[in-house]
Amino acid sequence: MSVDNSSEAGSASSYIPRPNSLVEDVYDAIFAQLMALKIAPGSRITVDNLVKEFNVSQTPIREALGRLEGEGLVQKTHLVGYRAAPQITRRRFDELYELRLLLEPHSAARAAAMMDDVKLRAIREAAGIMARRDGHDERARYSNFARLDAIFHDTILKCAENELIRETLAFQHTHFHIFRLMFHSRVTEEALDEHAAILAAFAAADSAHAEAAMRRHIECSRDRLLPAFD
Ligand SMILES: [Zn+2]
């Protein structure tokens, strides 16, 4: 997982890769294009085109595509090749948010009840990276935000100490799919304020407020993304 702010997603060929980070760099570059809809949902992904674009061999590209396939962002069809996963349907979107609303506010309450310095530091750190402005263009920043939001929410689930709930949500790769619905700075700016409210509740080890703040954040996130279906 690379959250290195000095890397430039989308232009992997512009810096000298260390051998074991080449796949990581190619992965980051393709991930950024998928999240920013530069590779449109449902469209073909041609290995040869990526070879030319990133100026690397097929091997790291196939490895990166395999990893993206595992995350549900890329689909591979026998004899056809790779395709970007189609956009999630309205029905699936509703189902995902229902699942999140069932599990995440409850988990936030549990995490707050078990809060200690180590957990609070881990959650603060996950939240702090997101707030940082850097030299990225907006689209790269957006794709980075999707990944960091996933880590922030996963860290809270980890602190709630129910691995089954954590795995259930991780398996959906929710953030990767919902962030592909629309590219809009509102999605990131407003979420940061809501995260701050969640953090404040954790700092006070206040279960009721943590639960309410998480519920509000997920409901607001849903309402921000709903116009994508209009
Ligand atoms: Zn969030």
Specify the pLDDT at position 159: 97
Binning pLDDT at 50, 70 and 90, where does residue 36 land?
confident
Which is it for the CA torsion 87, 153, 132, 13, positive or negative?
negative
Please give the backbone phi and psi of residue 26, each rounded to the nearest 5 degrees, phi first.
-65, -40
- Ranges 70-74, 86-90, 187-191: which has the least confidence: 187-191
- Ranges 11-15, 53-57, 99-103, 223-227: which has the least confidence: 11-15
Which is it for the CA torsion 120, 121, 123, 127, positive or negative?
positive
Q: Kindly give the distance from the C-alpha atom of residue 67 to the centroid of ligand 1, in angstroms, as a whole number.
A: 23
Q: Kindly give the distance from the C-alpha atom of residue 55 to the centroid of ligand 1, in angstroms, as a whole number.
A: 35
In this model, does residue 175 exceed pLDDT 90? Answer: no
Q: Kindly give the distance from the C-alpha atom of residue 149 to the centroid of ligand 1, in angstroms, as a whole number.
A: 5
Q: Kindly give the distance from the C-alpha atom of residue 198 to the centroid of ligand 1, in angstroms, as a whole number.
A: 9
Angle value at C-alpha 53, between 138 and 86, nearest 5 degrees? 65
- Ranges 22-26, 122-126, 136-140: which has the least confidence: 136-140
Specify the pLDDT at position 141: 76
